[in-house]
């Protein structure tokens, strides 16, 4: 069937994009920084009293990151090949209650990136504890939301949330009195959007994670984070509208394809957006030199 061919194509794209393309881009960025901005010339980049040799420590983590993604990529390709050999029909995934496989596999794919993100957070925390910039200069210009993203996207996120909420509650399955799963879905969606709002406000008004980071680099980072959260809200609302339509009109055979495509969009608008916003060639690494103050 055409839907089966489409599913195999989309799942193959998911394996390659999430476990090969973006991890490779991340590894290349990290390796480039370690090679060009060495510990001897840029000591503040590696300032961390918890490790005797932080540069070597990060290289070890990077090798483990590449190995883990390679293993997960081969697992995904192996599962895909096994499905083809055994003539598995993806159009029956939901009917056979195998939908959780897609979710668990995506979580497995993102696990190495999550671990690296946690390591980066601890790295910056240690950096704040072990190194205080000699010179501080305050930027008095307040940071506003629309300095980092067009109002169109913010309005779109709000409108789509309202559209989803109205469409979801108008479903015959969600007639009053509401079932517990209806209440939970509304609460979770609303809480996530409130979390996005809180996080954006925190980054607009809060302190930088990296104490040595140049001000222009901080602005690049804030722009990336703001865009990721706004796009996440938009994508979440659109995906739920689509999923609700699929269930309402009996299009269940397309749900696995839509879910896999949604996971890939999350990666492109999440990790991909941060990489596009924080371009290495635009960053100021001079602030990590021994005699540099905070810019």
Domain ranges of the chain: 2-134+141-288
3-state SS class at 254 = helix
pLDDT for position 132: 58
Dihedral of alpha carbons 176, 158, 228, 136, sign: negative
pLDDT tens digit sequence for 91-117: 666 665 667 788 899 999 999 999 988
Which of 24, 25, 14 lies closest to 264 in space, CA to CA? 14
pTM: 0.82
Q: Report whether 197 contacts 269 (CB < 8 A).
A: no
Q: Which comes out higher in pLDDT, residue 218 or 96?
A: 218
pLDDT tens digit sequence for 229-288: 999 999 999 999 998 888 888 888 888 888 899 999 989 988 998 898 888 888 899 988
Query: Could you tell me where the DSSP H helices lie in the chain?
Result: 2-16, 22-36, 54-85, 99-130, 151-169, 180-205, 215-248, 255-269, 271-277
User: Which structure tokens are listed for 161?
Assistant: 């949330």
Which of 276, 285, 294 lies closest to 38 in space, CA to CA? 285
Angle in degrees, 0-180, between the axes of helices 22-36 and 54-85, rounded to the nearest 10 = 160
Kindly state the average pLDDT of the residues 155-177.
84
pLDDT band at 124 (very low <50, low <70, confident <90, very high): confident
User: Which structure tokens are listed for 281?
Assistant: 């060639």
pLDDT for position 295: 47
pLDDT for position 294: 45
């Amino acid at each position: 069937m055409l839907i089966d061919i489409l599913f195999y194509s989309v799942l193959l794209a998911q394996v390659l994009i999430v476990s090969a393309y973006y991890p490779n881009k991340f590894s290349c960025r990290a390796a480039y920084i370690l090679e060009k901005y060495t510990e001897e010339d840029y000591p503040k980049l590696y300032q961390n009293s918890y490790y005797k040799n932080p540069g070597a420590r990060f290289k070890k983590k990077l090798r483990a990151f590449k190995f883990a993604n390679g293993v997960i990529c081969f697992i995904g390709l192996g599962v895909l090949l096994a499905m083809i050999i055994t003539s598995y029909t993806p159009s029956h995934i939901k009917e056979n209650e195998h939908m959780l496989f897609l979710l668990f596999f995506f979580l497995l794919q993102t696990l190495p990136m999550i671990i690296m993100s946690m390591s980066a957070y601890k790295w910056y925390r240690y950096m704040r504890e072990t190194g205080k910039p000699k010179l501080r200069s305050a930027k008095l210009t307040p940071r506003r939301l629309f300095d980092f993203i067009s109002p169109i996207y913010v309005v779109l996120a709000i409108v789509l949330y309202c559209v989803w909420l109205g469409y979801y509650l108008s479903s015959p399955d969600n007639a009053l009195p509401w079932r517990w799963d209806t209440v939970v879905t509304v609460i979770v969606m609303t809480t996530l959007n409130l979390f996005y709002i809180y996080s954006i406000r925190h980054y607009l008004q809060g302190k930088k994670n990296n104490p040595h980071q140049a001000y222009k680099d901080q602005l690049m980072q804030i722009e990336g984070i703001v865009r990721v959260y706004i796009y996440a809200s938009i994508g979440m609302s659109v995906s739920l509208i689509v999923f609700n339509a699929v269930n309402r009109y009996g299009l269940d055979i397309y749900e696995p394809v839509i879910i896999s495509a949604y996971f890939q969009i999350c990666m492109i608008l999440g990790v991909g957006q941060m990489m596009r916003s924080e371009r290495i060639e635009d960053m100021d690494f001079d602030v990590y030199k021994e005699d540099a103050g905070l810019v």
